[in-house]
Amino acid sequence: MKFLHTSITVRHMDESLAFYTEVLGLLFERRRTIPENHAEIAFVHDPVSGARIELTHWEGKDQFEAGEQLDHLAFEVEDLDRYLMKLRTKNVRVSKEPYRLSGGSSRIAFILDPNDVWIELIERAPTAG
């Protein structure tokens, strides 16, 4: 398993991108809408450590309580089905079974930690070669 990124919920995407890139000096990677989730995401990363942040703006959600900003942690796994089977033997709660987002080739699923923090598991599509 490989740690990929931390996702935080933001009120305004443009303002947040400006903060993370212009103020903190992180580098912009990409930005896209996810219609089926009513969301828009953007990725930025630290050029020194490689650490990544996914900024997530949920359509219609511009206000939230303190502490709601952490959206999820993301890990890459080699075989999503096998990994979920292993987690189920340890009574880990699966909150979203494996699926693909439109326009994406990776399979994803979500589990919950003991504190109800969402953890995304991503199985990358095989690369041609």
Q: What is the pLDDT of residues 43-70, one digit of tens each?
A: 999 998 899 999 999 998 877 777 778 8
Q: Give me the catalytic one of 40, 54, 120, 123.
A: 120
Max Cα-Cα span within the chain: 47
Confidence at residue 96, expressed as pLDDT on a 0 to 100 scale: 95
Give pLDDT, residue 114: 77
Cα dihedral sign, 36-37-38-43: negative
What domains, with CATH codes, occur in the chain?
A: 2-123 (3.10.180.10)
pLDDT at 63: 76
Asked if 120 is an active-site residue, the reply is yes
Mean pLDDT (whole number) for 12-22:
93
**Res 129: pLDDT:** 60
Q: What six digits make up the tokens of 34?
A: 């996810």
Q: Which residues pair with 41 in a beta bridge?
A: 32, 56
